Amino acid sequence: MDAFALLEEPRRPWLDVDALKQRFLERSAPTHPDRFHSAPEAERLAATERYSELNAAFAILKEPRERLLHLYELEAGAKPRDIQRIPPGTMDLFVDVGQTCRDTDEFLRQKGEATSPMLKLKHLQEGLIWLERLQALQRRVNARRDELWAELQAWNAVWAAAPVEGSPERRAALPIDGLEATYRALSYVERWTGQLQERVVQVSL
104-152 pLDDT per residue, tens: 999 999 999 988 999 989 998 999 999 999 999 999 999 999 999 999 9
The domain tally of the chain equals: 2
Cα–chain center distance at 2: 18
What integer pLDDT is reported at residue 196 of this predicted model? 98
98, 56: one domain: no
Reply yes or no on whether the pLDDT at 82 is more than 70: no
Q: Residue 80 domain-assigned?
A: no
Which residue from 126, 104, 132, 131 is spatially nearest to 204, judged by alpha carbons? 131
Q: Residue 67 domain-assigned?
A: no
Average pLDDT, the chain: 93
pLDDT in tens, 169-193: 999 999 999 999 999 999 999 999 9
Q: Residue 191 domain-assigned?
A: yes
What percent of the chain has a predicted confidence (pLDDT) above 90? Answer: 77
113, 152: one domain: yes
Report the predicted TM-score, pTM, of the whole model to 2 decimal places. Answer: 0.88
Q: Residue 142 domain-assigned?
A: yes
Dump the DSSP string for 30-71. GG-GGGGTTS-HHHHHHHHHHHHHHHHHHHHHHSHHHHHHHH
Backbone angles phi, psi at 44, to 5 degrees: -60, -45
Q: Residue 76 domain-assigned?
A: no
Tell which of 62, 77, 105 closes a domain: 62
Q: What is the CATH number of the domain that holds 26?
A: 1.10.287.110
